[in-house]
Amino acid sequence: MRISGNTVFIPGSTSGIGLALALALQAKGNTVVIGGRRKQLLDEITAEHPQLGAVQIDVSDPASITAAAQQVLADYPDLNVLVGMAGIMQVEDWHRPESFLESAEAVVTTNVLGPIRLIAAFIEHLQTRPDATIVTVSSGLGFAPLKVTPSYNAAKAAVHMLTESLRLQLADTSVELKELVPPSVATDLMPGQRESTFAMPLDQFVTEVIDILESAPDAKEILVERVKFLRYGEARGDYDDVVAALNAADPHAEG
């Protein structure tokens, strides 16, 4: 993936990593279209940042994805990069079904079916572009679990393996697969996460991501240094220590 000259659609980019990444990519010379559920918020963001395009989309709703894809492709026919940023994370207690089942279904719908449906909506178009990229978004928690977020951990592990599989299957096309693997980042994904000393500052994370995209355009995984502790625990042979440290350090680990 080249660092500039792309047309990029980022569903789930009205806040946090998604919005920061959208602005950073736009500053590098890309046409960037943000996506989110709330039209008023999209309007507020584009009023503040008129260089951004915006399309309303709810990745938990198949009809919304279809409608958004039609609008994006009509308005931005040069689209060649799709970044599946939308996701939710919820604390769950799996001792009783009433305290996890509804949450688990919502997490899987948004974090697993969402990317699948997004790819389905854009894959034929992307194959017509000479240089196209799908960026999936997994998590360090797809490689080492936080005990209070079982569905989120599982969903992100699924995104990792989906990406690995599609990279093989689409090797005969012009579509490249990249996997962004964030650590805990100071956003509002979970209550208190923005203020957590355990979380990586958002600006530092996005700066490092852009640096990786620029310096290693062929990298299959976008790994900031901070996430490698989680990503490579099994390979290093200290997985149990990684899991223990993760659950001791994270403010949501006790609950």
The answer to whether residue 76 is catalytic is no
Say which of 76, 152, 232, 239 is annotated catalytic.
152
Determine phi and psi for 136, rounding to 5 degrees. -90, 160
Give CA–CA dist 44/60, Å, rounded: 23
237: left (phi over 0), alpha (psi -120 to 50) or beta: left
96 burial class (0-12, 13-18, 19+ CB within 10 angstroms)?
exposed
Give CA–CA dist 54/79, Å, rounded: 13
48-56: long-range contacts, CB 8 A cutoff, minimum separation 24: 49/23, 51/26, 52/22, 52/23, 52/26, 55/9
- Provide the annotated active-site residues: 152
